Amino acid sequence: MDLSGIIVPMATPTERGTGEIDEARLARFTDSLIEGGVQGLFPGSSIGEFPSLTAEQNRTVIEIVAETADSVPVFAGCGDTIVGGVLGKIEVAAAAGADVAVVVTPYYLDTTQAGLERFFTGVADRSSLPVVLYNIPPLTGNTIDVRTVGTLVEHERIVGLKDTSGDLTYHHRVNERTPGDFAVFQGATELGVASLELGADGLIAGPANVFPERLTRLYDAYESSEHDVVSRLMNRTVAPMVSAMDDLPTAAAIKHLVAVRTFDIGSPLPPLPTLTDSERDRLEETYQEILDA
């Protein structure tokens, strides 16, 4: 299984008013991303609002994505604060047809590197799917130290890392300390090209929800040394989009932009706020500027 390229942390289509999963639109959305050329799909992500979904809703999302996506790997979000909770989600994801379990650092309680190693080892020892570690300290309050990654990489079931720390030095050190068959993904799209230069295997890129063709073109252009194309896409697509969302809840902004581009996929779920009229207008103006660039 090839773990590289552009992976989409998918927004979750929901019905306005009820917050239930819009299954038909989820299948259509999945198809549209695959048609856009992405190399992997990541349901149950932060952008997918996984903490706001019930266990049954999370299962439904992964199941529909896996049923629809028979040509690219499915990275299922399996985050929880306890080992048993993660393992339960992995079993559900495996039964639904997912290929990889993405396991975020535990949140709410502070811990140590020894605690994180114990947590991830406890998951990997009993996981029925390969595990990708997920480092996003701004949201969890816990960072997987580079030395801890270097220890965990020795476990045969731990196959990669998504890094959304925003720290390029950390990203460089992880790439230096892990073997070539360990997949390292950048989760901060604005750092995508710099991370590829440092040895990253791909991007888990929120903007690919809206511009899948352009993000996959960015990756392909980098791989084929088309530097002018890479520069143009970073400057005219990635940078303005990331800048427009900078002070907004990312999931809410992505949902609105998907609606502008393709079809309505619902409102953000509580506790996220809905966007104001001025926020929506700003996103739409940026979207049109990107199309016109």
Please count the CA atoms within 13 angstroms of the CA of 34 that sit on its side-chain side.
Answer: 17
User: Residue 103 corresponds to which tokens in the numbers above?
Assistant: 């396991």
222 is catalytic: no
Determine the distance from the C-alpha atom of residue 282 to the mean position of all C-alpha atoms in its chain, rounded to a whole number: 24
Q: Of residues 89, 162, 255, 287, which has the active-site annotation?
A: 162
Yes or no: say if 5 and 39 are a contact pair by the CB < 8 Å rule: yes
Three-state DSSP state, 1: coil
What are the CA-CA distances from residue 80 to residues 38, 58, 105, 133, 226 (Å)?
27, 12, 8, 13, 41
Please tell me what DSSP assigns to residue 47.
Answer: T
- The sheet carrying 183-186 orders its strands as 40-42, 5-9, 202-204, 183-186, 158-163, 131-135, 100-104, 75-77
162 is catalytic: yes
Q: Of residues 134, 170, 219, 222, which has the active-site annotation?
A: 134
Three-state DSSP state, 269: coil
Q: What counts of helices (H) and strands (E) characterise the chain?
A: 13, 8
What are the CA-CA distances from residue 281 to residues 211, 225, 242, 274 (Å)?
19, 36, 16, 13
Distance between CA atoms of 2 and 17, rounded to whole angstroms? 39
Please identify every residue annotated as catalytic: 134, 162
